[in-house]
Amino acid sequence: MLVDDYDPLKGRMLQILDKDGNVNKELEPKIDDKRLLDVYRTMLLTRMADEKSIRLQRQGRFGAYPSSRGQEASQIGPAMALEETDWMVWAFRELGALLLRGAPLWRTMLYWMGNEEGSRYGEGVRITPSSVPVGSQVPHAVGISFAMKYRNEKGVTLCFFGDGGSSEGDFHEGLNFAGVMKTPTVFVCQNNQWAISVPREKQTASKTIAQKAVAYGFPGILVDGNDVLALYSAAKEAVERARRGEGPTLIESFTYRMSDHTTSDDATRYRTEQELKYWTERDPITRFRTYLMKKGIWDDVKEKALVAELGQFVEEEVKKAEEHARPTLDEVFSYTYAEMPDDLKAQLDSHRRDPGRKEG
Ligand SMILES: Cc1ncc(C[n+]2csc(CCOP(=O)(O)OP(=O)(O)O)c2C)c(N)n1
Ligand SMILES: [Mg+2]
């Protein structure tokens, strides 16, 4: 088992594809070519949609937006291990995982345009809405998986959070409960080295985040977060263990946020160019593309055609999102509480009387 060979206290990191796209034959997972190409397509779509999203924000067509650049493998690898009936619980940066699990791109865009309808991914798509309060989704994921266990369903919950999220009380409460109740939860900490401008060294005195699993009494594993095959393999093993009723796993995905924290941030103010260069050489998409080329199932002609096709697809999805009906004022006010509190009622009345007035 990978979790035995890569005991987090020994500090080893699971890697199957090295930075130049060479594969470790002994560990290479068996995935058919069609699926591999589908995964590559989703990785590239994530990158292209991400680049488009930043441009849309600059044009005032998106609100603030958190880029997933550099974390495509870290998100898509674990999501590959899920069945349709499993749940995925995420934070706010996991565009790749959403797309792989079937969330329509235009819906995800609608969300960043400020429309809650963007969280409606479709009937049967088991993805929770985004959780912007850092770490708050961890207890939700544990609750969902505990409920599935209680009802004797065979489902598993995959829960994403960041290195910053691992400092929150919610993280510790969630993992403790999961360990005690042996819930079918797979925790993936996307350690992208930064929580806005706070570096990983200031987040925890532990050597790794994976080793925190030891204290909660379940397996943890440190994985190269820019290696989609390693992430998939670690997650698959964890999902199978959870489905067998053997409880949770913590996967630390060692990756890097290649862009700013969000479009409201400027990372050049707190990190060096060398750091970005180091990680650019470890780009998860380049690495996976090289692997596919070495396998003989991908080439430059196919790449060019796919880039053109996805570019057009992204434009169509933007159009769909922008053409979607905007919520009415009543709808904006009606979603948070079953019964509207007095202060919200007063605001709604004031807007109805004078829709153009700005609050002071
Ligand atoms: C409880 C809470 N505190 C602070 C914030 C502001 N905030 C948004 S994202 C973020 C950093 C999160 O870092 P990490 O968990 O590593 O995720 P990443 O942004 O790197 O994906 C902070 C502090 C928030 N959203 N919620
Ligand atoms: Mg982070």
pLDDT digits (tens, 9 = 90+) for 291-312: 999 999 999 999 999 999 999 9
Q: Across the chain, which distance is largest between two alpha carbons, in Å?
A: 70
Q: Quick one: which atom of ligand 1 is closest to the CA of 257?
A: 20
Q: Looking at residue 355, what is its pLDDT?
A: 74
Specify the DSSP element, H or E, that contains 315. Answer: helix 300-323
Residue 175 has pLDDT above 80, yes or no: yes
Q: Looking at residue 45, what is its pLDDT?
A: 99
Q: Looking at residue 358, what is its pLDDT?
A: 61
Distance (Å) from CA 196 to ligand 1 centroid: 7
Q: Quick one: which atom of ligand 1 is closest to the CA of 166?
A: 15
Report helix, strand or coil for 224. strand
In order of their start, the domains of the chain are 2-327 (3.40.50.970)
Per-residue pLDDT averaged across 12-40, rounded? 97
Q: What is the 3-state secondary structure (H, E, C) of 169-200?
A: HHHHHHHHHHHHHCCCEEEEEEECCEECCEEH
Q: Looking at residue 329, what is its pLDDT?
A: 81
**Predicted TM-score (pTM) above 0.75:** yes
Environment class of residue 129 by beta-carbon count within 10 Å: exposed (0-12), middle (13-18) or buried (19+)?
A: middle
C-alpha separations of 322 from 104, 191, 263, 309 in Å: 14, 33, 20, 20
Atom 11 (ligand 1) nearest CA: 195
Using CB distances shorter than 6 Å, the residues near ligand 1 are 93, 132-134, 162-165, 192, 194-196, 257, 261
Spell out the residues 6+ positions from residue 289 whose beta carbon is closer than 8 angstroms to its own: 21, 40, 298, 303
Active site residue 271: no
Distance (Å) from CA 267 to ligand 1 centroid: 15
Q: Are 235 and 251 in contact (CB under 8 A)?
A: yes
Q: Looking at residue 359, what is its pLDDT?
A: 53
Distance CA 254, CA 116 (A): 31
Active site residue 335: no
Q: Looking at residue 307, what is its pLDDT?
A: 98
Which residues on neighbouring strands pair with residue 160, listed in sequence order? Answer: 188
Q: Looking at residue 332, what is its pLDDT?
A: 83
Higher pLDDT, 288 or 359: 288
Per-residue pLDDT averaged across 193-201, rounded? 98
Per-residue pLDDT averaged across 339-351, rounded? 92
Q: Summarize pLDDT for 94-151 with one digit per residue, the tens.
A: 999 999 999 999 999 999 999 989 999 999 999 999 999 999 999 999 999 999 999 9
Atom 19 (ligand 1) nearest CA: 195
Q: Which of 151, 168, 178, 292 is nearest to 238 (CA)?
A: 178
Report helix, strand or coil for 108. helix
Q: Summarize pLDDT for 230-288 with one digit per residue, the tens.
A: 999 999 999 999 999 999 999 999 999 999 999 999 999 999 999 999 999 999 999 99
Spell out the residues 6+ positions from residue 324 whose beta carbon is closer than 8 angstroms to its own: 106, 110, 115, 117
